Amino acid sequence: MRPAIYIMTNKPNGTLYVGVTSNLPQRAWQHREGVVDGFSKRYGCKSLVWFEAADTMEAAIMREKQIKGGSRVKKLALIEAINPGWHDLYEQIMHG
């Protein structure tokens, strides 16, 4: 499984959580179920609205930092480019 950078949200144009993981299906499930304490649980960020695979974890972490350091407008543009309807992509990653 390839490392991935991802964005979770609580609603369209809502609070955004940017993360990195080595197992996107498992991590997205953890967010959906609220099993990990922290920012995403506190704000109810349960919908996977954007993700991008990386070749290495090092590359994924660098990309995550780049996205986190960017403006909200840039994060919204990433989401809108692949998911203009802000659909939850969880089923897509689970069933390929």
Give the start-to-end residue ranges of the domains of the chain: 4-95
- DSSP E strands, 1-96: 4-9, 16-21, 47-53
The model's confidence at residue 1, banded by pLDDT at 50, 70 and 90, is confident
In this prediction, residue 96 carries a pLDDT of: 66
- Which of 32-36, 57-61, 73-77 has the lowest average pLDDT? 32-36
CATH of 4-95, one of 3.40.1440.10, 3.40.50.720, 3.30.43.10, 3.40.50.620: 3.40.1440.10
Per-residue pLDDT, averaged over 43-71, amounts to 98
In this prediction, residue 90 carries a pLDDT of: 96
Q: Which of 2, 49, 45, 57 is nearest to 24 (CA)?
A: 2
Instruction: Supply the DSSP symbol for 34.
Output: T
CA angle (69 as vertex; 25, 72 as ends), nearest 5: 80
Q: What is the pTM of this model?
A: 0.96
Give 6's strand partners: 19, 51
